[in-house]
Amino acid sequence: MDSERAVAVAPARAARWVGRRLLAPQAVLAVLLLVVLAYLVVAPLFAVVTTSLIWQPADTRLTGVDVEVGRFTPYHWQRVLASPLTRNLIVLPLLRTLAVALGVMAVVTVVGAALAWLVVRTDVAFKGAIATLSVLPYVLPSWTIALAWLTLFRNQGVGAPRGFLEYALGWQAPEWLVYGAVPIIIALGIHYFPFGYLFFAGALKNLNTELEESADVLGLSRWRTLVRITFPIIMPAILSVLLLAFARSIGTFGTPAILGLPVRYYMVATQIYSLNLTGREGQAYVLALALMAIASIGLYLNFKVLGTRKSFDLVSGKGGRSRIVKLGGWRIPAGAGTLLFLAAVGLFPLLLLVWSSLMTNQGDYSLANLSLHHWIGAGRPGINDGEPGVLRNPLNVIAIWNSVRLGLLAGFACGGLGLLIGYLVARMRGSLTVRFIEQVSFVPMLVPSIAFGAIYLSLFGRGGPLAPALYGTFALLLLVTIGKQLPYAARAGISAQMQVSKELEEAASVLSVPWHRRFARILFPLTRPAFLAGALIVFITTMRELSLYIMLVTPRIRLMATQAFWYTEVGFRQLADAFTVLLVVVILVVTGLVNLLNRLSAGRVRGAS
Amino acid sequence: MHRIVPLLTAAILAVLLVVPSFEVPVGAQMRYPADVDAWLKQAQLGPYAPAREDWRAVHQAARREGKVTVYTSSSRVPALKQEFEAMFPGVELEAFQLGTAGSIDRLEREHRAGIFNADVIHASGYAAQYHRLFRRHMIVPYVPPELVAVVPKEFREPLVAQRLEARGIFYNTKASAQPPITSLWDLTKPEWRGRLSMVDPMVDASTLDFITQLVGSALPLARDYERVFGQRLRLTTPNAGYELLKGILANRPRFFRRHGDALPVVGDPNAAEPRIGISMVYSQLRDVKDPARGNLQAWPVTQATPYAGMSYPSLMNITVRSQHPNAAKLLIRFFFGDEKGGQGMAPFMVPGNWPARTDVRPPDDPHWIPYEKIAFKIMDPEAIWRLQTEVQDWWIANVR
């Protein structure tokens, strides 16, 4: 209120002066971000578009058309959009992809919001355990959830080996519950609801409860308060979650491959993967561009919703912290029920993995068959070609370090960039440059990982005037990771910065506090939860990512994901499972340490103020 | 303001459309370009390969080069590192396991970007390697001169093969005592509805080769149809190959991403009904009945008309402009192995793989099936190269 009064009483010239002081660093920032994004995002996008418009070397096999590699051609677009293939290549997969995405968005929003509300705004029992378990499904590789689903539901009735439910109860699940849209939506929903939880929890933590308290005083019911006040307030977070859930579910390949392929439920990601694999990059990139076009419609709607509202300004210079809803007699049942649900969707797949990693012989479920051989056993000839247990292989330690280093560095870089992008978007809303930045920062999510890696290989492989030769270096892995994972952190940064009121910064600005100190002392501490959420999501995603690096890694830079891939390819199922468990443990430990550090430094800040 | 964003996007797209592309067209002439020729001369490869190789000198030169990098489709190569380095001290073996499509794709992209990282490519995909790599002077064949006598010509020219691999039809031996089919057309009979499993040709390049070869075998398939059903085949598709695929699809097979995912379904030791797997990999024979891998009960159908499976060579050739050509020669020699099937051949002396060398004794393994005992069709790389797009298009348009 102080700053409002200051602005109101000051002469017009002073107001303009304030405006200039505020704008100058933002303009510089905008230019810097434009350069970074041009480098990391626009160049790859450009390559996607050109690839779809020129003949590729593999096209030379085509008969009946005049192919000259490198020349312009509308062929790939025409094949995808106007040929006998159109229906099955793009129309049907697109409709299915949209249906699945809608389903996943619903699951992610509802489950994420419910969990966040319980943890942040109520006195539910077992809060710590709920908060920890809420993130677990995202830490697990998504295919583990799909496989756990099959382990439970597959049966002889659908032509598969017996699953647990048929084995234990004699019940044969119908086909639609084993394969196809329903299990894909459920598996992806389980995998991605932690996004919803993290974003909503961040948003709820950040907003003060004055408005809700006013509603309370005015006699609004709790439900109406939630619907009329809380939801609109956290709208930027909701939209971010919807966008992320949408983009992730349209781009994922693993889960639809396991649960969709058996019944020919092809989605766009399947088609892109397939076309890329069979030397039809041109057509694959047309499909990728179609996905991007659809996502930009989503982004546009996002602007429409946010653009018509003047401001959120929820984190202001005054007001108390959150009000806690007392659940009374429901405190323990609600907590226990939530824990049970989380255990079923998060712990159960993990336990299946652990169990499988302990089975000396695959498929033998007797207790006598359990051993630590695949963990700590020395190589024995006759078992898995003499491969030693995962903890016995010194190269695995290198892989762990490389992955952690890559994930954390990328996490911090993306988290920081995300906050800056969010700051610009929030402060200069409506400006064309900023819209461009927001839109562009979202693009990498829609470029298929394998294509993104391939593009970086061609850009940085040999080097050039603008791109140094980075082939085979860690720096290239880091760059490609930052480029690809930026959208997550950008969304987290945008939804956080949208909540921060301008008045805080203006007040500091009037007091002639320079921009970098305003950012470091005021904005960053307020948006740190979002920074951490963004950084951790990037870290976790990076740890598991494989296809992004398949074109770029060298044996010297071994990563956990490439090692797990190798175990899987060789058919060392138990070793692969053990290594996946190890991956989950590493992620949990690092995440825990980061959170611990955060809490310690938060304590220090609070102590100082 | 809102109007400007789509306009701007359209403008950018327009710029992207107008700005010309940046690829250098590749000529179709088979004569070596001067720079490739200079490299071949210096590396003593291609037309300059000596008639007798002084292996001690090659090893000395390889030591100076220090290492050899191989892109391989096989998970079994990284484990060879120690033996290779013990055999050729001072030469490091660096293996990238990238799969067949990945190896070819990466080598091609690197060459186009001017990176010469790989020295040897060790993968199948004959058609793609021949047209995309060999004809564009990205790889060159090399056979140690002393082995020319024991490696048949088709495994030396135009590209060098280490061994044959194969794909075929597997059945569940617990549910069927005898092979349940004698003709590929049996797969279209109604009794197999819901009992077929198949690796999905949409996500597995080798299975796409498999179905493409079926279309390439339209004539023998048409003749076999008459023998099986006693009447002429009435075509509803372009030819008998497509007709067979259509019949298989009508039986609604289950599709899997990898053959490793399909085998447990086909060989399920608890299966009550017969099951069949299509485009299964013969080297999976070594997984069968292994308790550590789930005691799977599966075996290939070895006799069927017009054929029971397809074999294809797995190649190994040297990268043009390799920085380590002598080390690459050592690796090729190592991969050929000795008469006992040892050295670099050892991990591939398994059931379902057959060495290119004719002087190698087969291993003593109950799962080993002699090559001649299986009714194989050798894949025709030309037909596959020519037909693959058409077959894939047909598949996309007809599978739903």
pLDDT tens across B43-63, in order?
999 889 999 999 999 999 999
Res A14: pLDDT: 61
Q: Chain B partners of A302 at a C-beta cutoff of 8 Å?
A: none
Q: How far is CA B367 from CA A473, A597, B349, in A?
A: 44, 57, 12
Q: How confident is the model at residue A23 (pLDDT cuts 50, 70, 90)?
A: low
pLDDT band at B11, cuts 50/70/90? low
Is the pLDDT reported for residue B262 higher than 80? yes
A346-360, A434-448, A514-528, A562-576: which is most confident:
A346-360
User: DSSP secondary structure string, A222-285?
Assistant: HHHHIIIIIHHHTHHHHHHHHHHHHHHHHH--HHHHHHTGGGT---HHHHHHHHHHTT-HHHHH
Give the containing element (helix H, strand E) for B315: strand B309-319
Whether B236 contacts chain A with CB within 8 A: no
Give the gap in angstroms from C-alpha A161 to the nearest C-alpha of chain B.
6
Q: Is B79 on the interface with A (CB under 8 A)?
A: yes
Question: Are the CB atoms for A120 and A322 separated by under 8 Å?
Answer: yes
Residues A231, B345: Cα–Cα separation, whole Å: 66
Q: pTM here?
A: 0.79
CB contact under 8 A, A156 and B272: yes
Per-residue pLDDT at B205: 81
Rounded average pLDDT over A498-511: 76
Q: How far is B134 from chain A (nearest CA, A)?
A: 13
* 3-class DSSP assignment, residue B4: helix
d(CA B161, CA A579): 34
Check residue A193 and give its pLDDT: 92
Closest CA to B162 of B41, B306, B284, B343: B343
Tell me which chain B residue has its CA closest to the CA of residue A59: B389
Residue B305 has pLDDT above 60, yes or no: yes
Handedness of CA A494, A496, A499, A500 (dihedral sign): negative
pLDDT at A4: 47
Q: How far apart are CA A171 and CA A169, in angstroms?
A: 5
Distance from CA of B279 to the nearest CA of A (A): 15
Residues of A in contact with B131 (CB under 8 A): 60-61
| Minimum mean pLDDT range among A562-571, B134-143, B311-320, B367-376 | A562-571
Residue B257 with chain A: CB contacts under 8 Å: 257-258, 261
Distance between CA atoms of B189 and B180, rounded to whole angstroms? 12
Interface residue of A48, A75, A264 to substitute, partner B, most B CBs within 10 Å:
A264
- Mean model confidence pLDDT for chain A: 80
- The answer to ipTM > 0.95 is no
Q: Identify the residue with better confidence: B249 or B20.
A: B249
Is the CB of A421 inside 8 Å of chain B's CB atoms?
no
Taking CA atoms, what residue in A is nearest to B394? A85
Would an 8 Å CB–CB cutoff place A457 in contact with chain B? yes
- Find the range with the poorest average confidence among A259-268, A518-527, B156-165, B298-307: A518-527
Which residue's entry shows tokens 């010239």?
A: A13
List the single range of A10-14, B192-196, B275-279 with lowest mean pLDDT. Answer: A10-14
In the numeric block, the tokens 């006992």 are attached to B340
Give pLDDT, residue B22: 39
Is the CB of residue B271 less than 8 Å away from at least one CB of chain A? yes
Confidence of residue B1 (pLDDT cuts 50, 70, 90): very low
For A:180-239, CB contacts with B below 8 A are none
Structure tokens at A136: 């677990």
pLDDT digits (tens, 9 = 90+) for B232-258: 999 999 999 999 999 999 999 999 888
Q: Name the residue facing A68 among B13, B25, B260 (closest C-beta).
A: B25
pLDDT at position B221 is: 95
Does the structure show a pLDDT above 80 at A101?
yes
B212 reaches A (C-beta below 8 A): no
Strand, coil or helix: B72: strand
Q: Greater confidence, B183 or A491? A: B183
If residue B170 lies in a helix (H) or strand (E), which one and from where to where?
strand B161-172
- How far is B95 from chain A, CA to nearest CA, in Å? 7
Q: Can you tell me the distance from the alpha carbon of B21 to that of B9, in angstroms, rounded to the nearest whole number?
A: 20
> Do residue B21 and residue A70 have CB atoms under 8 angstroms apart?
yes
Which one of A71, A162, A277 has the shortest CB-CB distance to B205? A277
The listed range with the strongest mean pLDDT (A106-115, A383-392, A396-405) is: A106-115
Least confident of A54-63, A593-602, B14-23, B243-252: B14-23
